[in-house]
Structure 1
Amino acid sequence: MVMNATHVYMTKRFATSLANATMFTTYALYYIAALGLNPFELLLVGMVLELSVLLFEGVTGVVADTYSRRLSVIIGMFLLGTAFVLQGILPAIDGVLPFVSAFMWVLVAQVFFGVGDTFVSGADTAWIADEVGEEKLGSIFMRAKRYSLLANMLGIGLSVWLSTLAPNLPYLVGGLIYLGLGVFLILFMQETGFTPRERERGASHWREMAQTWLSGAHVIRRQPILLLILLVTLFTGAASEGYDRLREAHLISEIGFPQLAGISMAMWFGIIAALSSLLGLFAVSFAEKRLDVNNGRVVIVGMFVLTALKIAALISFAMAPDFGWALATLLLIGAIESLINPLYDTWLNLNIESSVRATVLSMMSQSNAFGQTAGGPAVGWIGNRLSIRASLLTAALLLLPILAVFGRVLRRR
C-alpha cells in the first residue's frame, strides 16, 4: 500500500513524539524516586547514551547513504523500542537477576537507545529531503514540529496517568509504540528519491562504507559553513546535557513544588510539560504564518535571537527564587526550543549535498554527542561539588560561543 511521503513523515514524527512524551514527562520520578539514581548517576546515564551515539553514529549514517535511508530508519525504530521496553520491564525482573543492579540495567538499555537513535538520526531527514525537495524543507519541518507538539500534549496526559498506576509503565508503553511504528514503516514507507552510491566492482561492503564516510568528511572540510555548524552542535550538546538531565532535579531538590491539594509531583510534571507544549504550539504557528522559514537569512537571524534568549532564560531558571519564577522560565525555554530545532534542521539540510546528506547529518550528531559526553560529566561534577544551580549556570555559559558563530555567519551573508 502506498502513502504520501509527507504523510508518512508526519505520522512518524507524531508517533515518536507521543512515545517520547509518554516516557520522558515523568521519567524523573522513575529514575529518581523509584530507582533512586543520584545526580551524578543521572549524568552517567546520559554519558553512556551519548557515548553510544558517538561510537556508532558515523557507521549508521554511512549505512543510510550507502544502502537505504528507509532500512536505516526501520532498524532504528525496532532498536529504540527494545531499549525502552527493557527499561519498562525492570520491576518485573527485579530480584530475578540479583547480580545486576537497576542502575546497570538502565545503562545497558541506554546502549540500545543510543545505537537505535543513530540509525534514525540523519536518515529520516535525508529521506524526506530527497522525497519532497529542499525548497520545501523549512515548511515541512515547522509543520512536523506542530504535529510533534500536539502529540506531546496527548503523551503528557498518558504519562501522568500511567505513572500513577506504576512508574515503569510509561517506558513500557512508549517502547511498544516504537515497535508498532517500525511495523507501520515497513508497510507504508517508500523510497523513491534516493539513489544508492554506485559500487565498485569487487569492492567490499566495508570499503564502500569507508568511501561514503570519506566523501562526507570531504564535504564538511571544503565548506566553511559546515565547519561552523559542527562547532554549533558541539557546544549545543555540551550545554543541553546539563539542562536536560538536571532541570527536574533542580525543581525537586532546590525549588520545590507548591503544596496544593490533589496535585502530585507527577501531575506537576505533566502540567509543566503540557503548558510548555501548548506555548510552543502557539510559537510555531506564529512563525509559520509570519516568517519565511525557507529563507536562509531569516533562519540565521532567528537562531541568533533565540539562542540569546535561551541563554538569558537558562540563567534565570538557575537563579529562580521560587516555583513561579522557575515555571515561567521553563515555559520560555520550551517555546524557544520548539522554534530553534526546526530552524536548525532547515539551516543544516540546506547546506548539505544529497549524496552524503545522511552521513554528514550523522557527523553533526556525533559532534553533539561528543559535546554531551565531554560536557555532561563536567556539568554533573560541578553539581555534586557545588550545587545544581551552578551546573545550570555552566550550561548557560556553554551556549555563549554559539552566539559568536551565528554573528560571524550573519556578517558573511
Structure 2
Amino acid sequence: MRISTVTVYEQSVSSMNRQQAGFLKTGQQIASGRRVVNPSDDPQAASRAVGVSQAKAVTEQYADARVGARNALAQTESVLDSLSSVLERTRTLLVQASSDTLGDADRQSVASELRGLYEVAIGQANATDGNGRYLFGGYQDGSPPFQKDGSGNIEYNGDSNARALRIDASRLMQVAENGENVFLSVPGTAGHLACADEGNAGSVTFTGPSVVDATVGEHRDRHRVAFAIDAGGAQTYTVSRYDEATSSWAAVPGLEDLTYESGKPVTFAGLSMVFAGDPADGDRFEVAPAQKMDPDIFRSFEQVLAVLETPADTPMAKAALRNTLNTAMREFANAQDNVLTVRASAGARLNELDVVDSVGANRMLNYEQTLSDLVDLDYVQAASDYSLRQVGLQASYEVFTTMKTMSLFSRM
C-alpha cells in the first residue's frame, strides 16, 4: 500500500478542520449560553423547545390581557365607589328634606345640592377608561351611554352587553359593566315599592308597603290601589292586579269598592300599606316589587328635584312631596345596594386576577425550567469541553506542521 504526500497532507488538514469546527461550536455554545444552537444539534430537544416556547408566548399574552382587565376593573371599581358616595349623600339630603320643619326656601337649598349630585352621577355614568371608551356603554362604548333627550330626561343609549377578556385558557372574565346593570337595576333582594300617580289631586300619603305573608304568591305582582268618591261623598278603594299576559289591570275579587278609613292598614296579596289623608276621585297608587317598577337613578333624581322645587303650599302639594320622598328614599337605598353589589363583584374579579396571576407566574417558571433543561448549556461541562478541544486543535496544528515538512527524501 502506498501513501502519497498529498494524502498525508489532506488527512492532516481534515483533522485540523474537524478540531477547529468542534472548538468553534463549543465557543458558540458558551457565547450564547445554549446547548442547542441549531436544530441539528439535538432535533428532539429543539422540537420540544418550539412547543414549550409557543405555550410560553400564549401565557405571556394572557398575562398582558390580565393587565388590561385589572386596569378596567380598577377604574370601574373607582367610579362605583364615587357613585356610592353620591347616593349616600343623596339619601342623607332626602331625610333632611322630609322634615316637617323645613320651609320652601330650605327645600330649595336642598334641591340645589341635589342637582349638583345629579350632575355628578351623570358624569360618573359617562366615565371613560382613559382610551376614549365609555365604561358603562356595553358594546356601544364609542359615545356617551347616558344623554338627555328632547324633554331633558336622561336616556340610555348603550346595550345590555358587557365587554370581556380571556385572561386564561379556561377563563373569560367580564371586565366592564353596562349602564343597565348599574343605573337601571336593583338587587334581587330589593323589597317592594309604592308610588303615587302624578295626577293625584287628594292629600293621601302612604306608608309601606311591607310583606306580611310571603306565602301569597301574588305579592310578586304589580297591584294598584285606586280611590273613588261616590255622589254621597263616601270614600272607597279598589285593588287591581296587573296581568302580564294581557297587559291590562283587573280588579282583585273581594277587594272592590271597600270603605276607606284614613290611617287603617290596607292588606292585599300578602302586603300591607297604610294610607292617610283625604283622597280625590281617581287617586291611584301603584305597588310592586322594586324590580318591576322600572328602576332608574336619574328619573328618581328628576322626580325629587321637581317636587322639592315646587312650593308645598296646598294639601295636594304636601302629599305629593311626602309620597315622592318616601318612594325616592327606597329607590335610592335600592340603587346604593345595587351599586355596592356590582362593586363587590368587580372587587371579587380583581382578587381572582391576583390568583390567576400567581398560577400564570408558576406556569411561566415551569416553562422556563423546561426550556432550560432542553436547550440551556451546562457551563462546567462546556468549559471542560472547550479546554479539551483547544488542546486537540493545538495538537492538530503541531501534527500538521510536522507532517508537512516530512519527506521520504529526508530518510535517504
Normalising by structure 2, we get a TM-score of 0.22
Structure with more contact order per residue of length (Cα contacts < 8 Å, sep ≥ 6): 1
Structure showing greater radius of gyration is: 2
Q: Which structure has the highest helix share of the two?
A: 1
Normalising by structure 1, we get a TM-score of 0.22
Q: Which structure has the highest strand share of the two?
A: 2
